[in-house]
Amino acid sequence: MLYFIGLGLGDERDVSVRGLEVIKRCERVYLEAYTSVLMGSADPSRLEEFYGRKVIVADREMVESESDAILAGAQEVDVAFLVVGDPYGATTHSDLALRAAELNIPTKTIHNASIMNAVGACGLQLYNFGQTISLVFFTDSWRPDSFYPKVQENAQIGLHTLCLLDIKVKEPTLESLARGKKVYEPPRYMTVNQAVEQLLEVEENRQEKAYTADTIAVGVARLGSDTQLMRAGTLAQLRDVDFGAPLHSLVLVGSRLHLLEADALRQIAVDREALDVVLARDYGITH
């Protein structure tokens, strides 16, 4: 059996009791380490100690090109594939599941919290979110704005947009790729500030007002950990707020904001008076 096991959002103790029981009895344990990271346990040895099992860190290369090694013998023995958050959060690992099916390996999923549902902690109702988008790091030559129409679609209905922010873990340097021997860049995690910069650059270019510097948004950092931080303000304000260590996410607040949601945002406002001005002017909400 191949088990996809969600680890949740904080540290090693956010795994479920059921998940931990399964991990402890699996013959091999892999940790997916390229689409997210467990904030409190960047070091796999901490997981190993907690599980009492060896943990094999699976980077993108391994999962994409050596999936048969991961799946070896899983018709007979139990193998765990650990995913930070929920296995069906942002990335679904459907290639691995599909390959398992081809090899007649049964699979089972043990769910956990992911940013996709835990973001409700900021006080915005999950009911009022539209489609989720991803923001990737801009480079000098690649500044994709394919997310923009999706934000626009959400905004036209008045829905909130959850923006998942890029992480780059174990990316080979361009120079090393040219030389044929891979050397890896240090890991990078997009901050709320960088996300805001990129969003505003794209709006500046397109001028279609899917959002503006005055759009209210919520910066979310280290959700589900003890140092969780959430701040609401305009994009212009959030550009300069220091959210500290990764992981960060951002929510663009839609115009169909309810009074109760607005109350929650006021509790975490960067500047409550300034927020009230924008709430009254652009969202029709007065206190």
Contact (Cβ atoms closer than 8 angstroms) between residue 23 and residue 80: yes
Nearer to a copy of itself, 125 or 286 (CB): 125
> Which is closer to a copy of itself, CB of 158 or CB of 187?
158
Rounded Cα–Cα distance for residues 223 and 121 (Å): 8
Cα(240)–Cα(279) distance, rounded to whole angstroms?
20
Nearest Cα residue to 203 out of 247, 252, 165, 132: 252
162 is in an annotated binding site: no
Cβ 74 vs Cβ 87: under 8 Å:
no
Q: Which is nearer to a copy of itself, 237 or 275 (CB)?
A: 275
Q: What are the CA-CA distances from residue 49 to residues 37, 85, 92 (Å)? A: 18, 20, 27
Q: Which stretch binds a copy of itself (CB under 8 A): 136-144, 170-178, 195-203, 260-268?
A: 260-268
SS3 state at 132: coil
CB of 35 to a copy of itself, least distance (A): 13
Residue among 3, 81, 129, 243 that touches a copy of itself (CB under 8 A):
129
- 135 labelled ligand-binding: no
Among 26, 28, 31, 89, binds a copy of itself (CB under 8 A): 89
Phi first, then psi, for residue 131 (nearest 5°) are -65, 150
C-alpha of 276 from chain center? 29
Taking CB under 8 A as the criterion, the residue among 73, 106, 120, 144 binding a copy of itself is 120
Q: Which is nearer to a copy of itself, 212 or 228 (CB)?
A: 228
* Gap between the Cα atoms of 194 and 138, Å rounded: 10
Q: Is 216 annotated as a binding residue?
A: no
Residues that bind a copy of itself (CB under 8 A): 6, 8-10, 12-18, 20-21, 86, 88-90, 92, 94, 98, 101, 109, 111-114, 116-121, 123, 125-134, 153, 157, 159, 224, 260, 263-264, 267
